[in-house]
Amino acid sequence: MLEVFELTKRFKNKEAVKGINFYMEKGEIVGLLGPNGAGKSTTISMISSLVLPTTGDVRLRNESVLKKPEKIRKVLGVVPQDIALYMDLTARENLEFFGRIHKIKKNDLKKRIEEVLEIIGLKDREKDLVKTFSGGMKRRLNIGVALLHEPELIIMDEPTVGIDPQSRNYILETVKRLNEEKQITVLYTSHYMEEVEYLCDRIYIMDHGEVIASGTKDEIKSILSQEQTLVIQVEILKGEFLKGLEALPNIKNISVNDPILKIIVPKKVNILNEIFVLAGETNTNISSVQIETPTLEDVFLHLTGRQLRD
C-alpha cells in the first residue's frame, strides 16, 4: 500500500533521516521504534506530505505522492506527536471544526462525530473544553480528530506519551480494534518497545536517522537468538569490577544502571563463574543475578549499545 524509498531529510546542520526504506501492506500494523531524536517524526512528516524530503520517494499504491500531496492526504489520518487541538474549544467543537475543513457534509459529520466519540470513549465529555481534559483524554481526542474522515491508513506519532497506564491501555485497545474491525492500516510510532511488541505485526527500529533492524517480532528477536542477557545487581558498583568485566572475553555489551548491570553474552558461554571470581577479587557483593530472554529493548541495546529509554 505504502512504500518509502531511500528517504532522506537534511536540515541546515543535521541529517535527521538518512536514506530509509520501508513498506506497509494493507491491514498491517507496522511499528516504528526508536529513541527520541531517531528521526521518527521527521519520517512521518515526509510520508504525510508536510515536509518535502531532501531525496527519496514516497509511493502510495505505486504512485509517487511527492508532487500530488492531495492524494495521500485523503487516505491518511495523522495523529501528531503534539496534541494538535484547540484547548479553548469543546471536544465536539474541535471535531466539528476539523470535520468541516475536511469538507465532510454537515449531516454525515453529525453521524460521524457520534461514531468517533464512541470509539474514543468521550461521549460523556463532548461538551467540555479540551483544556479541562486529562492527558489521556486529550490524547484520545487527538486520535479521534484523525479518524473523522475515515482514513484507510493511520499514522500515529507516539500517541501514548505522558499519560496514565489506563488511558494507554485504552488507546492500545482502540488501535487494535480499529485494525481488526475496520481493516485500517496503522503505522505506530513509539519509543515504548512493549507497545510496539504488543501491537505490531512488523517492526522497524530506527536510530540516528537509520533503520537498524526490521522484520516481524520473531525475526528481530532472532538477532539475539545467539545471545542472552544477564542482569546483575551489586551492592556497591566499583570501577575495578566494571573494568574487569569489560576486559572479559565473550562479553558483547555492558550497560550500567547503577547498581544494575546488563550484560549480553553468547548463549553457549558460561560466564557466571568468571563474574563471581571477579567479584571476589574486587570485593564486590553481588545481590542477584538473572538470565533474561531477549526483548526488543535488548535488541536495541545489542544494535546500538544504548538503551531505548534513557
- Asked whether the bond before 151 is cis by omega within 30 degrees of 0, the reply is no
Cβ distance to ligand ADP smaller for residue 186 or 234: 186
Among 34, 80, 136, 244, binds another protein (CB under 8 A): 80
User: Which residues, in sequence order, are CB contacts of 6 under 8 Å at separation 6+?
Assistant: 19, 20, 21, 55, 56, 57
Name the segment binding another protein (CB under 8 A); options: 29-37, 47-55, 194-202, 222-230. 47-55
Cβ distance to another protein smaller for residue 81 or 282: 81
Q: How far apart are CA 219 and CA 10, in angstroms?
A: 31
Say which amino acid occupies 104: I
Q: Does 38 bind ligand ADP (CB under 6 A)?
A: yes
Q: How far apart are CA 252 and CA 216, in angstroms?
A: 24
Cβ distance to ligand ADP smaller for residue 37 or 121: 37
Which one of another protein, Mg ion, ligand ADP, none is in contact with 33 (Cβ closer than 5 to 8 A by kind)? Answer: none
Which one of Mg ion, ligand ADP, another protein, none is in contact with 100 (Cβ closer than 5 to 8 A by kind)? Answer: another protein
Instruction: State the number of CA atoms in the 13 A half-sphere of 146 facing the CB.
Output: 27
Q: Does 291 bind another protein (CB under 8 A)?
A: no
Q: How far apart are CA 175 and CA 168, in angstroms?
A: 11
Q: Does 11 bind ligand ADP (CB under 6 A)?
A: yes
Say which amino acid occupies 139: R
Q: Does 42 bind ligand ADP (CB under 6 A)?
A: yes
Judged by CB under 8 A, the chain residues 59 through 78 that form the site for another protein are 69-70, 73-74, 76, 78
